[in-house]
Structure 1
Amino acid sequence: MSGRHVPAVTGLRGQGELGRIIVDWTPLPWAVVVDHYAVYGTPGTGDVAVEPANLLTKTVYPRFVHRGLGGDGATWTYRVVAVDAAGSRSKPSQPLTASSQESVTASGTPLAVVGEYDGKGLEFALSPGGYSQYPATFPNGIDFRHGTDDAGTGWSYLHPGPADGWAGRRTHTFRLRVDLDAVPAGEVWLALWLIDSHASIPGSAVLDINGTTVDRLVFEGGATRGSTVGDSTLPGSPLRPSYVERQLPPGLLLAGENVLTLTKDDGSWIAYDAIGLFTMS
């Protein structure tokens, strides 16, 4: 239908974050009864054709979070069309090009990694749906030595918290032991990727390195589906991945054994994609 009476969307802005691009725009005046906004996009810096093959989402909000873009840093171009209650469509907005941030998993050098940064948690123990076996399999949490232990048997895909009745409603600690030949040169970063987390109470965890408390890591709410689904890359996946990457204070890592400890003493479970330490020169 003609879009003569539906104003074009203006004010598109893009904010690149790790693994995603947030696109928002100026909402149409209240006098226009908007049924939804249609967001179109294609990879790269060229223009985007407003056609069904490029439709990314329909939303009633003047905002779209484009997720699942990975860690390499992705560039996309977007246009938005407003559709009113009668089905009339506006002209497409002006194009907007934006880029997501590059992950340290792409730009850094790995010191130790458990899992694969691939949007999947299928390589971990008990995945994709064996969480009920966690209390018997890991009664004392996780104590994992990099280079010796296997993620398929030694690292649980879910890290429960005290809100989880199936895991005893208590604190759960995961330890990663890393042996280093020498003190790393340059910056050291933690890269913790999740394929999903509990939607309403993902909570937080305390990060310790060699007995020194570094930070309390706060997790984003997910889709509460990662307890039974292990792949966020499939078309139409219900999972909601999130990412935590932060630089570690200098001087914490030593030559010899190092122990990274994540203590989940708040909220419910998180579902791992991968966890690792990286150096940046």
Structure 2
Amino acid sequence: MSGRHVRTVTGLRAEGRLGRIVLDWTPVPWDTVVDHYMVYAAPDGGPSRLLAKTVYPHYVHSGLGGNARRFTYEVITVDAAGARSTPSASLAASSQASVTATGSPLAVVGDFDGKGLEFALSPNGYSRYPATFPDGVDFRVGTDAPGIGWSYLHPGPSDSWAGRRTHTLRLRFDLAAVPAGEVWLAIWLIDSHATSPGSAALDVNGTPVDRLRFEGGATRGSLEGDATVPGTRLRPSYLERPLPAGLLTTGENVLTMVKDEGSWIAWDAIGLFEV
């Protein structure tokens, strides 16, 4: 059908973030009864393809991983009769690069791959957490196996299945020397509780660092472990930040997360990287 009477999208804009690109545009005027918008994306050097259909003037292109990736976007309006507009002006945007791609790993648990299936109790064994991890997670890099020693969920005091209490995670790792560069913490989640992801207190070697605040997810990560499946309802999120200088030492180091607010988070991976 001809698109000459259907309003073309204007104001397309993009914000590159870690692992995703956020798209927004100006809604078409009321004289076009919009059924949906069609979002097209073309990776550098590749053909354009239909990425999504949405009723909102907003879309998050997620699951882009740790490397910076560049896409060119166009949006088409589809009205209630099925007629399509001409494409919007194209817009190129890039996601941000992760320290998991640009830094040197110091201590890593998990694969930074959009999956949490390598961890204990995954994908849906959360009811066994209290018996398996009665004192929380205490994991030593290079000695312990993620499939045994690291729970796929880190619960919080809002979780009745985990006793409605605070839960502590300790990540132990050895360093032959203190890193010369800046050290970053990378936390990738495949999902989190939608309305109450909460926060966790972070300290390194007994020194309080900060409070880590988590994004709301889709409340599916307690049952599913792979955010790379097409059409997944999981909602991954990413938290990467530098650590203050002088926290790490030669020999054993201990990073502690105390989940004392909100509900669970579901792990993809965690690591410290020198950049």
Offset from partner CA, 1:194-244 (integer Å, 9 cap, x none): 011111111111111111111111111111111111111111222111100
- Give the corresponding residue for 2:257: 262
8 Å contact 1:45–1:77 — kept in the other structure? no
Helix, strand or coil: the match of 1:153?
A: helix
8 Å contact 1:45–1:97 — kept in the other structure? no
- Give the corresponding residue for 1:135: 130
- Give the corresponding residue for 1:62: 57
Structure 1 position 133, deviation (Å):
0.5
Q: Provide the C-alpha distance between the structure 2 equivalents of 1:96 and 1:243, rounded to a whole number of angstroms.
A: 24
**15-24 vs 207-216, which moves further:** 207-216
Trace 1:86-105 onto structure 2 (pairs within 5 A).
Answer: 86-105=81-100
Q: Provide the C-alpha distance between the structure 1 equivalents of 2:240 and 2:219, rounded to a whole number of angstroms.
A: 22
Q: Where in structure 1 are there 5+ consecutive unaligned residues?
A: 49-53
- Give the corresponding residue for 1:81: 76
Offset from partner CA, 1:157-180 (integer Å, 9 cap, x none): 000000100000000000001111
**95-104 vs 25-34, which moves further:** 25-34
8 Å contact 1:46–1:77 — kept in the other structure? no
- Give the corresponding residue for 1:35: 35
8 Å contact 2:173–2:252 — kept in the other structure? yes
Q: Provide the C-alpha distance between the structure 2 equivalents of 1:46 and 1:151, rounded to a whole number of angstroms.
A: 37
8 Å contact 1:79–1:95 — kept in the other structure? yes
- Give the corresponding residue for 2:145: 150
Equivalent residue in structure 2 for 1:226, among 214, 221, 229? 221
- Give the corresponding residue for 1:11: 11
Equivalent residue in structure 2 for 1:190, among 185, 188, 192? 185
Structure 1 position 46, deviation (Å):
6.5
Q: Where in structure 2 are there 5+ consecutive unaligned residues?
A: none
- Given the alignment of the two structures, is residue 244 of structure 1 paired with residue 255 of structure 2, yes or no? no
Structure 1 position 31, deviation (Å):
2.4
Offset from partner CA, 1:21-67 (integer Å, 9 cap, x none): 0111111112222111111112116773xxxxx11111111111001
Helix, strand or coil: the match of 1:174?
A: strand
Once superposed, which parts of structure 1, at least 4 consecutive aligned residues long, lie more than 4 Å away?
none
Structure 1 position 183, deviation (Å):
0.9
TM-score under structure 2 normalisation? 0.97
Matched length = 275
- Given the alignment of the two structures, is residue 110 of structure 1 paired with residue 112 of structure 2, yes or no? no
Q: Provide the C-alpha distance between the structure 2 equivalents of 1:250 and 1:45, rounded to a whole number of angstroms.
A: 41
CA RMSD of aligned residues (A): 1.1
Amino acid at match of 2:114: G
8 Å contact 1:121–1:274 — kept in the other structure? yes
Amino acid at match of 2:195: S
Amino acid at match of 1:25: W
Helix, strand or coil: the match of 2:131?
A: helix
Q: Provide the C-alpha distance between the structure 2 equivalents of 1:89 and 1:236, rounded to a whole number of angstroms.
A: 24
8 Å contact 2:7–2:29 — kept in the other structure? no
- The percent of aligned pairs where both chains have the same amino acid is 72
